[in-house]
Amino acid sequence: MGTPDFAVAPLLALIEAGCDVAVAVTQPDRPRDRGKRVQPPPVKAAAEKLGIPVLQPDAIKGDARFLERLKAAGPDLIVVAAYGRMLPPEILGLPPLGCVNIHASILPKYRGAAPIQRAVMDGAKETGVTLIYMSEDMDAGDIIGARRTDVGRKTSAELFRELSLLGAGLLSDSLPALASGRAPASPQDHASATYAPMVRRQEGRVDFARPPEETERLVRAMNAHPGAYALYEGKAIKIWGAEAAGGRCDQPHGTVAYLSEKGIAVSAGGGILTLTELQAPGGRAMAAPDFARGRRLGAGSVFA
């Protein structure tokens, strides 16, 4: 059970391990990307290439027909990876080996819908993936295992790909213990839990009064979705790359202090934030110096 690209590597890991994947459950086809064309979720596309039957219920709670089809598949184990829906008790209790979830954080930190983006936004030093037995409470089940990686200056998009592969490896290595019923099951420290709510588009609007280091993290967290942005000449400009440059700047927040080979240096929170990659509405992402030349942007120009 999974929906985005994050879940494709775990699906392939099950196939490579010789598992008989009876069915893939994913969310319905929806409009995606700039063209808003209706497209299948990545898990559906991958499953169909592998000849795996696909179920796409609009909702899984109270859908008797879906539950009957899932029961007919006779799963020994249900693996969940970024499916996007909570599982009701009748599904949690269906497979004899249980339901397991690959979550993109080191639990109990960052339970919820956006663990990768929130970790980057918060300036976390490390993150990772945790394989857990699922329970009725969100991301609160017993831990089977975990793998870690440094956050560094990675974007959410980069971590998304890295953690997908880490999760697939962790799942693959855990399969023998899961199949025998002898997988570890360590309770989480619920008192230490933190939450990672879904990221909304408006959270990506840059406030140049904030410290440049904080805004740099915001830009990395919003890359690739939904994207950080600021207004320039009344238009929302996506900011795909930014770096805190150090030093002091007393110009009004959002004012372009100077241009450099690296990008557009903007006054932010008493310091300098260098914008390195920008995208105008309807255009393509480009290096900030090219963006500046194309719009005659220079010192004294203002981002709102």
Percentage of residues in the chain having pLDDT higher than 70:
99
Section 287-297 average pLDDT: 94
Say if residues 299 and 266 touch (Cβ distance below 8 Å): no
Q: What average pLDDT does the chain have?
A: 96
Q: For the domain covering 201-294, report its CATH number.
A: 3.10.25.10
pLDDT at 92: 97
Section 76-93 average pLDDT: 96
**The two three-digit tokens of residue 170, written as one number:** 């962790």
Which of 75, 66, 78, 79 minimizes the C-alpha distance to 28? 66
**Residue boundaries of the structural domains of the chain:** 5-192, 201-294
pLDDT at 34: 65
For the stretch 103-139, pLDDT in tens is 999 999 999 999 999 999 999 999 999 999 999 999 9
CB proximity list for 47: less than 8 A, separation 6 or greater = 11, 21, 24, 26, 53, 54
Provide the CATH topology of domain 5-192: Rossmann fold (3.40.50)
Say if residues 174 and 183 touch (Cβ distance below 8 Å): yes
pTM of the model: 0.94
For the stretch 260-286, pLDDT in tens is 999 999 999 999 999 999 999 999 999
Q: How far apart are CA 30 and CA 126, in angstroms?
A: 33
Section 87-101 average pLDDT: 97
Which of 33, 38, 79, 73 minimizes the C-alpha distance to 55? 73
For the stretch 12-64, pLDDT in tens is 999 999 999 999 999 999 987 666 789 999 999 999 999 999 999 999 988 99
- DSSP per residue over 140-184, as a string? -SPEEEEEEEE-TT--HHHHHHHHHHHHHHHHHHHHHHHHHT---
